[in-house]
Structure 1
């Protein structure tokens, strides 16, 4: 071998190991080969140069160098060199979004060589076919190539072929084969020292885990893949895309959108135009789940145009599916062509993508029903329903949805409800494997259509028991499933300590990198998502009316339900369950806005205060008439209220019929029944703590502690670790601190203590929390309401960790004015009154004192059980 040929071969090896540093070596090899007139060396060097640039994202320049590699190979009269160059050129062209010339190049290579080069070319053709979605053809090529590559001991080629075959197996849901191929590829690449290839294997193991619904494992693989690929100078667009698709699968739409947009930016920078329509399609799916159907339609149209230009039939069908879903949601389903829908379904049925086929058939059924073709719609649902017995949880649940819709169309409401229950069981069992709270909350988005179908059939049937069941199935399900926490987690504890340190520096006005807090929050969130629960038991079934009636005793229950713009109420009084519509939701929403505005203005003394008081009284009276005034059976009994939507932020004590009346608010009747009557440990250990910077908090804590005869944690003693330790051993807790609700990431909502914030993630580390918790702070009781009436915030974190009663404000309050209410409340609790009774009495006392005291007291509610 000549010196220049040896230099070119070294450049080729380096291009595969570390492409970011191989470009200079390849350019030097090209210069020397051209100087010496060595066409063979020049072809190898240009191929190395082009291959490096492909992996660094410079596709246009890479394609020019790979064409030069072909030309030099022809000049050297070497079919092998020409075919090797064409293999690389074809892959660059497919990434550039030019599948037709890519396949042309690979077919020329196939027809021009024989012998050992053939399996490598077949393997590359399989890789190209994977990218454009022709999975059966890809698998045939790869199945042919792999045995040959083993036989000739081409370990680099074998590792690449196994990755691509693993991807195909994953798409076809042959998960065991997929993992087997990918793990073997990783072992071969690791032995060869190909770190970048190992990172790509990790990425695809994450892709397969996501398809299986193994979310924590997928997150772990993708995190390692991103780190490894970045370390070796590889492209990150595909990892970002897989991460976005995974987050969408559990309903985390805002984070999924962030990853998709980052991936589009990376694709544009790396010139990977093939992937941009796929990411437009992902954005369309995200917008659809968010209910932004116009945006979903726009992104689907962009994806459709991109796939059509690239002549990718299967992906074009996926874009049409997204487009049709958005049009149906916008009320434009009758304009969709049945012929185009049939073509879409036929393409998806042959694509090897079972999830897409099921969804395509569901959409085809919707269009058929809208066009009056009941027979065609029924047949599509029958085909889609076959998926209920196979595949990952999401596909099986969608198959059950199709079965439920089919039974509903056939006039079998009981059968439809049964099928919907089966689909929910699949999803709920899957959700119990998602250890992180935010994953379980957001995954509820996939339950919506099933619960809506069940509620629709129950409302049509008119039986209150059925309406109660489906109202309960549609709300706050994750609070009923309390997973057992893992053992002490030193990594999480360290990250939380760092976050407190940074937050304390920021609060004191000290310079701190602005991104440091965001980085730590992301690390905490991602770390918690990696670990599934050790145990949690099966999902809890909705409470039955007779069980609920027995638990209520002399109380009255009202559960509010929204359906098709109408507010409904279920009442249970003296074991009799009733249901009635109350009226449109929009007037209720408007009155709550006016009421909250009035409460916000009420503490401000001056000429506007009487107007605020009059507005508050008027809005409260009218809301009382709309929400409770139509329910005479409630009488004057203590109330248990189960709100929905905006009613989660309702300050119930301001309604005339609730004045002085014990009112308990619960996210669900099932939860209330589960926690009511929870035993209180003997001794009623009380912990009282006050945080810094809150006027009156220290004096309030001293007064409350004196009522219970305990030592308060104030000033420097009210540290995060100290308060957490006290909470774990107490039965009653009073926390007078600044509270903060982080609406975009509620698990970072916090209570400010002496050494920094105590956040919701801190509470999740506790094995237990007190039976009764009082948050005497602004925003302590507010929660972010997610799809399916799932809640996130400090109050729901306390409930999720087994607090039976929580007293907190659901509206912003003037912090300095809460002390009189808290002292009156604790006197009642110390006298043995139940928390809702003590709160009602204290609020009535404050109402008689002044408008400022009324405003400070009005927002507090008793949440949970009794």
Structure 2
């Protein structure tokens, strides 16, 4: 029995032997069956556990039978049979007293009776402290800590769990130490401290796996955490794995809870049909399990999916749903917002105002995401009194989120977390459009794009483990490429590469930012454009708008649908790729016709230098192919604020450095020619460490190498050097980057666009770390085509032309269209 508690996996081969040895002794058999059943429950074999625990109840008498009923109740809860579990534990309470009340509290918690559960925990804790039963007290503290976290009493939750961990260590319950670490991860996830939560979950996974425990709860908590920072794809993957594991372990109780996570992920991905499907399936299962509180959560999610899809919303008892959600502040706030929207549809203004008024109270306390939802409700409410007040509330909500996310050290977490800004930013933009004031539209277009770039320069702290993993990845990739070239088996190396990338990604997410904080977007009056024209593109409700600033005057015009422009844009890289391989008149004609149409739709008729601030699909446009851009300096910037910041950054000394990578026939020759222009060295066989050194010291760096944008894992986008890839994580660790970076490599000027117009990739990272200008291609380009262009660019840079003008003149001189753009300022 002792072994079943501390190392259940070791019990399973021994249990049948012990039961056989106890034949003829009912008391011994009862204890052996109880140990067997408890070990099975601990290792996820719940159905078998119920069989053995029922046998233990039948064989036992008095206290022994009551102990078996307690463990049977635990297993029945895992099966989702909470009512049956409650009957068993109520029979144990007269015999076991406080310990059984603690178990009853767990069941009441799963049934959604949070106040009754808390009362039982309080009563049991006092009795157990008096009696000195440390094992039962440790269990009570773990479960009460989870309940405290649900109620957002985070300090109390952490206090309970840390005391429980101390007791578990004293009692030698190592598996339970891992389970407590998982619960600490859950608490920090609810509190919004992502690095702390990830660290706890990593520790939990290691300990629980070592002791053969159940990893499904860790997968579930990790899915919820990843969802909180907008990593929808990864969250879905972990939630799906958790459901499979819960089913395999017979733990049906947790399946519908995890289905609700999948529904939330689908909502964030705007997949309304999937969200409704998952929520309805969860609702049916909660109803069968008699868990009315959780059923209310599922009903609220079904309502939100229908609202988002624009479908009719039927809800028979909204007040009952709200009442059933008591004790879940975030769910209550969201339900009030959704019911307000339903009331507005039905023109029940007083009811809508009442719901929004209740939801808006959340802005005064709790985790950042909860306060932001409160400010969102307040902004919706204030729309009735005037746009100025509504916009002020939306600003406050965005600031709450931005201040919270500023502590994230990992670039992908900061970028994807912008997903939670979307409602506030869209609301602000709609209100601004309604005012008819172009300056308001400009402000909210800025607030809704690339907010990560509005934070002051953020650099993850030095981390020895991350620093050791990156060279291992380079060595593995170099060995893998050699094996493929020689035709050798490479499966083990491929698995090692995947494992190292996973470890690097996970390690980076544990880091906190050492600097940073949100900055206000630039005002139009602060932009010193000179003779330039700024065109800021805006996407709203499937349509594109363009806001143009010429000589300080703002004008707003409609462009067309996103679908129309996307269809045209798909033709451009296709044509450029085919022209680079073999010039054909029909392809050239297609390119010219498409470029002319895009030019007409997107750009103003002004023969001046351009500053372009794209949105969504427009981030990948090779602007030099458009007729009105040929020979004209065009700068592409993720936001006007970033352009303003970079344009006003003090210029650094123009020191030049050059490096080239392997496998490109013309790269070495190109690098030598560029080095000769600037009379600088061209290190042969440049390694990643050598290139990182010049990136950290030179003012302008030219890199001629194979480039690769990794759309599925953009932080592993890379430049190939002689000892392996230089990836985004390498650039993030630099104290300083060059003022100007020129990458004569395919595709690395393009970034992966995620929610909120956040960008991920090499180019985006150089800009985030402080580069003022970057010249790179947004489409694949042949090696031979870049050499002459780069030489022409560098001759002009040597003559002190700004990078955008140098690129424009070089492209005009050579005449052939290409995908190179100047990004930054």
Q: TM-score range by the shorter chain?
A: over 0.9
Q: Distance in 1 between matches of 2:718 and 2:562?
A: 32
Q: Could you tell me how far 1:484 is from its partner in structure 2?
A: 4.8
Equivalent in the alignment of 1:779: 747
Q: Any conservation in 1 of the 2:246–2:252 contact (CA below 8 Å)?
A: yes
Measure the CA separation in 2 of the matches of 1:23 and 1:602.
Answer: 67
State yes or no: 1:367 paired with 2:342: yes
Cα displacement string for residues 622-673 of structure 1 (whole angstroms, at most 9, x for unaligned residues): 1111111xx34xx211110101111100011111111100000000000000
Question: Contact conserved, 1:435 with 1:483, CA < 8 A, in 2?
Answer: no
Which of 169, 172, 179 matches 2:148? 169
Query: What corresponds to 1:69 in structure 2?
Result: 56
More displaced 10-residue stretch of structure 1: 597-606 or 416-425: 597-606
Cα distance in structure 1, aligned partners of 2:156 and 2:63: 32
Provide the residue aligned with 1:422 in structure 2. 396
Q: Indicate which of 21, 27, 34 corresponds to 1:47.
A: 34
SS state at 2:74 partner: helix
Does the CA-based 8 Å contact 1:483-1:533 persist in structure 2? no
Name 2:357's counterpart in structure 1.
Answer: 382
Aligned-pair distance for 1:343?
2.6
C-alpha displacement at 1:480, in angstroms? 2.4
CA distance in 2, matches of 1:324, 1:290: 16
So what's the TM-score if we normalise by structure 1? 0.93
- 2:553 is matched with 576
C-alpha distance in structure 2 between counterparts of 1:237 and 1:150, whole Å:
32
Structure 2 counterpart of 1:850 = none
Q: CA deviation at 1:678?
A: 2.2
Distance in 2 between residues matched to 1:739 and 1:513, nearest whole Å = 21
Q: Does 1:106 align with 2:89?
A: yes
Aligned match for 1:843, one of 795, 801, 811:
811
Match of 1:680 in 2: 651
Distance 2:20 2:644 in 1: 80
Contact 1:776/1:822 (8 A) holds in 2: yes
Once residues 861 and 483 of structure 1 are traced to their aligned partners in structure 2, the CA distance between those partners, rounded to angstroms, is 23
In structure 2, the residue matched to 1:533 is 513
SS in 1 for 2:253: helix
Corresponding position of 2:802: 834
Contact 1:749/1:760 (<8 A) preserved: yes
- Please give the alpha-carbon distance, in whole angstroms, between the structure 2 residues aligned to 1:487 and 1:376: 50
Residue 583 (structure 1) shift: 2.8
**Residue in structure 2 matching 1:97, options 80, 92, 95:** 80
Alpha-carbon distance, 1:598 to partner:
1.6
Look up the SS of the partner of 1:769 in the other structure.
coil
User: How far, CA to CA, are the matches of 1:238 and 1:129 in structure 2?
Assistant: 19
Cα contact 1:293–1:329 (8 A) shared by 2: yes
Is 2:263 aligned against 1:288?
no
Is residue 2:630 matched to residue 1:659?
yes
Aligned mate of 1:859, from 801, 819, 825: 819
CA contact (8 A) 2:382 2:390 kept: yes
Q: How far did 1:291 drift?
A: 1.2
Shift of 1:130: 2.3
Quick one: distance in 1 between partners of 2:109 and 2:498? 37
Task: Say if 2:25 is the partner of 1:57.
Answer: no
Q: 1:332-481 alignment to 2 at 5 Å?
A: 332=311, 335-348=312-325, 350=326, 352-408=327-383, 410-481=384-455
- Of 672-681 and 720-729, deviating more is 672-681
- 1:707 matched residue in structure 2: 677
Between the aligned partners of 1:605 and 1:235, the Cα distance in structure 2 is: 58
8 A Cα contact 1:680 1:731, kept in partner: no
CA distance in 1, matches of 2:29, 2:515: 61
1:808-865 deviation per Cα after TM superposition (whole angstroms, max 9, x unaligned): 1111222331101000000010110000000000000111xxxxxx24xx21110001
Instruction: Give the unaligned 5+ runs of structure 1.
Output: 1-11, 848-853
State the TM-score, normalized to the length of structure 2: 0.98
Tell me which residue corresponds to 2:63.
80
What is the Cα deviation at residue 26 of structure 1?
3.1
State the SS of the aligned residue for 1:818: helix
Alpha-carbon deviations, 1:38-64, whole Å to 9, x = none? Answer: 222221111111000001111111101
Question: Quick one: distance in 2 between partners of 1:513 and 1:689?
Answer: 28
Q: What are the Cα deviations for residues 651-707 of structure 1, in whole angstroms up to 9, with x where unaligned? A: 11111111100000000000000011422323x221111100012001000000000
User: What's the CA shift for 1:451?
Assistant: 0.6
Aligned residue in 2 for 1:270: 249
Does 2:586 align with 1:611? yes
Q: Which residue of 2 aligns with 1:824?
A: 792
2: CA distance, partners of 1:666 / 1:605? 32
Partner of 1:567: 544
Could you tell me how far apart the structure 1 residues matched to 2:461 and 2:78 are? 46
Which of residues 483, 488, 496 in structure 2 aligns to 1:516? 496
Structure 2, unmatched stretches of 5+, are none
Tell me, yes or no, if the aligned pair for 1:483 and 1:534 is still in contact at 8 Å. no
Q: CA deviation at 1:23?
A: 2.3
Aligned partner of 2:529 among 545, 549, 552 = 552
User: Measured at CA, do residues 771 and 379 of structure 1 come closer, stay the same or move farther in structure 2, by a change above 3 Å?
Assistant: same
In the alignment, the residues of structure 2 paired with residue 485 and residue 593 of structure 1 have an alpha-carbon distance, to the nearest angstrom, of 35
Q: Distance in 2 between matches of 1:485 and 1:595?
A: 36
Instruction: Find out whether 1:133 has 2:120 as its counterpart.
Output: no
| Larger displacement relative to structure 2 (612-621 or 513-522) | 513-522
Matches within 5 A, 1:689-768: 689-714=659-684, 716=685, 718-768=686-736
SS at match of 2:711: coil
Quick one: distance in 2 between partners of 1:405 and 1:735?
Answer: 50
**Would the aligned equivalents of 2:409 and 2:460 in 1 still touch at CA under 8 Å?**
no
Deviations 1:484-529 (A, max 9, x none): 5355322111100110011001111253432211111111111111
Give the structure 1 partner of residue 599 of structure 2: 624
Q: 1:19 aligns with which of 8, 21, 28?
A: 8
For residues 540 and 401 of structure 1, what CA distance do their matches in structure 2 show?
20
CA contact (8 A) 1:338 1:367 kept: no
Alignment root-mean-square deviation, CA? 1.2
Offset, 1:27: 2.6
Q: What is the SS of the residue equivalent to 1:268?
A: helix
Q: 1:28 aligns with which of 13, 17, 39?
A: 17
User: What SS does the corresponding residue of 1:273 show, helix, strand or coil?
Assistant: coil
Aligned counterparts of 2:796 and 2:92: Cα–Cα separation in 1: 87
SS in structure 2 at match of 1:596: helix
SS of residue paired to 1:540: coil
In structure 1, the residue matched to 2:183 is 204
In the TM superposition, what is the alpha-carbon distance from 1:483 to its structure 2 partner?
Answer: 4.8
SS in 2 for 1:577: strand
Q: Secondary structure at the match of 2:128?
A: helix
